[in-house]
Chain A
């Protein structure tokens, strides 16, 4: 790698543009060999953020003092031999819906623009105990509702591959950070595709775990039966390290799965010869951009080279997935967001005339349009007279979608297809047409509805913009997905590409 092993304590031996090519896994080894200190690493990333973030608007909070303090602490502990965790010393960013005690947790909303979280999310606690260094909170679509990061109170985020295009959403900031190498990894959240789609649009890797794999305690809820926290990084190898750290049963999350966490790195180098890959015919139908289709087909050829077998499968209920998803997600959102009433925390309207006026104006003024639309849709779908026709109907379709996957998994080991019908679109292009925005979630929402794990890895470019491949595994089979992704990343280098203006 051309790194000079002789150094003075004052100079950073690794320059910014060398560090960005180094994986979290390798960076950890360098720190433990004393090739570089945590302080030096954090300093390099803070300088990169200062230089490049104005073009991206990927951060809501930048934690200079906190990250430097933590870096000093971890350097001392490493020196004493007191910490050995695989993520110790590695800087990262959290999507701004994870509660971080004493630090602004805005969820990208005016409603929480004054909210200093009074407690820590479980995943944050785990990462802090592992010695990872939080350097900032990432911009996002408000309350995780959106597919473009254009719905943030803090302004839109730009795609590092083309600043006039969206990074995707709702974890747009988290994706842009990794794509522009402003941090080695980030945590996003995925309800209907909010990790996978921005990962695809920004040319990085992102994983939505099986529902219940990772604790949701301290994660601001959007749709409680769909939300999951997940890692976003440059490679499957790095994602394995992060998933290992954040996964596991949590007493404080009653939807957390009491299933042991396997060693995600153990089988990552296994051969995938004989792997049966299912290609759903519904994921390659009308609506898929031909440029994207071509890149996906080329990627599937790489898997054939590795010995995999490709079979067509059917997921017949796919065409109703978006309708069902938006009913369920909106209904659950309307319930989850009813807590924002100006009383105990968050924004309150000025000079309320009475209690009703307090509630109604606080909520109208505090929430953005997309959030209000979804709250109203959800309220309607759950209201008397409509509950059966909308909410229960959607839950029945959800059952059919889950059954489609169960049937498919009898024939194949994993499912693959595009993450999104197109590459990243222009900022402002779809923001006036909510339905057009929703329709692009077609490949990701069925996976969310079924609660299955899904990963996006970059597999090429179409018209200069990244294309992501979705790998969907069976329940709690993240290890297999990571193995497959890593094998692909061992014979290709799409995941290592960095947009030239951020080098």
Chain B
């Protein structure tokens, strides 16, 4: 089952990846081959099978709704490409 170039572009956009024109064909072919591998899953009927999302069938653990973390915004914002006065800076969004 092949994937078409249009779908590759759509998926790239969903994944926020700027796929360059010179790479589209190669990516389409590789991803197509991988999807063919995945199509093997259709070899068996799984209508009555319960999906497994956690290997131990564990349930999400909850904790009391109380604050346990300390605000370390300054420490973390030091890592940003551009940050000022507690804000992360990006190109203008609203015209």
Interface flags for A351-391 (1: CB within 8 Å of B; 0: not) read 01111111111011001000011011101110100000010
The 8 Å CB contact of A225, one of B34, B38, B54, is: B54
Pair B34/A377 contact, Cβ less than 8 Å: yes
Chain B stretch 2-58: residues in CB contact (< 8 A) with chain A: 3, 7-8, 11-20, 27, 30-31, 33-35, 37-44, 46, 49-56, 58
Please measure, in the bound complex, the distance between the C-alpha atom of A383 and the C-alpha atom of B20, giving whole angstroms: 22
Interface size class on chain B is 35 or more
Pair B38/A327 contact, Cβ less than 8 Å: yes
Pair B56/A372 contact, Cβ less than 8 Å: no
A226 partner residues in chain B, CB cutoff 8 A: 55
- Number of A interface residues at 8 Å Cβ cutoff, please give it: 71
A65 within 8 A of B: no
Pair B56/A257 contact, Cβ less than 8 Å: yes
A344 partner residues in chain B, CB cutoff 8 A: 76-77, 79-80, 88
Pair B49/A399 contact, Cβ less than 8 Å: yes
Pair A376/B27 contact, Cβ less than 8 Å: yes
A interface secondary structure, majority: helix
B19 partner residues in chain A, CB cutoff 8 A: 364
Pair A353/B17 contact, Cβ less than 8 Å: no
B63 partner residues in chain A, CB cutoff 8 A: 251
B interface secondary structure, majority: loop
A345 nearest in chain B by CB position: B79
Q: A225-B53, A324-B41, A355-B93 are in contact. Are A383 and B11 (CB under 8 A)?
A: yes
Pair B20/A118 contact, Cβ less than 8 Å: no
A393 within 8 A of B: yes
Pair B80/A320 contact, Cβ less than 8 Å: no
Pair A341/B55 contact, Cβ less than 8 Å: no
B12 partner residues in chain A, CB cutoff 8 A: 376
Chain B proximity of A404: nearest CB distance (Å): 12
B91 partner residues in chain A, CB cutoff 8 A: 352-355, 357-358
Pair A361/B18 contact, Cβ less than 8 Å: yes
A258 nearest in chain B by CB position: B61
A472 partner residues in chain B, CB cutoff 8 A: none
A288 partner residues in chain B, CB cutoff 8 A: none
Please measure, in the bound complex, the distance between the C-alpha atom of A326 and the C-alpha atom of B79, giving whole angstroms: 32
Residues on A lying within 8 angstroms of B by beta carbon are 115-116, 118, 210-212, 225-226, 251, 254-255, 257-258, 317, 319-320, 322-324, 326-327, 334, 338, 341-346, 348, 352-361, 363-364, 367, 372-373, 375-377, 379-381, 383, 390, 392-400, 402, 434-435, 438, 449-452, 475
Give me 22 A-to-B residue pairs in the complex whose CB atoms sit less than 8 angstroms apart, sorted by A's number.
A320-B41, A322-B37, A338-B16, A344-B79, A354-B92, A357-B91, A358-B91, A361-B18, A363-B15, A363-B17, A376-B17, A376-B27, A377-B34, A377-B35, A380-B3, A396-B52, A397-B44, A399-B52, A400-B49, A434-B34, A451-B55, A451-B56
Q: 13 other contacts beyond A257-B56, A258-B61, with CB at 8 A cut-off?
A: A319-B40, A352-B90, A360-B18, A364-B19, A373-B34, A376-B11, A376-B12, A376-B17, A383-B11, A397-B49, A399-B49, A400-B44, A434-B34
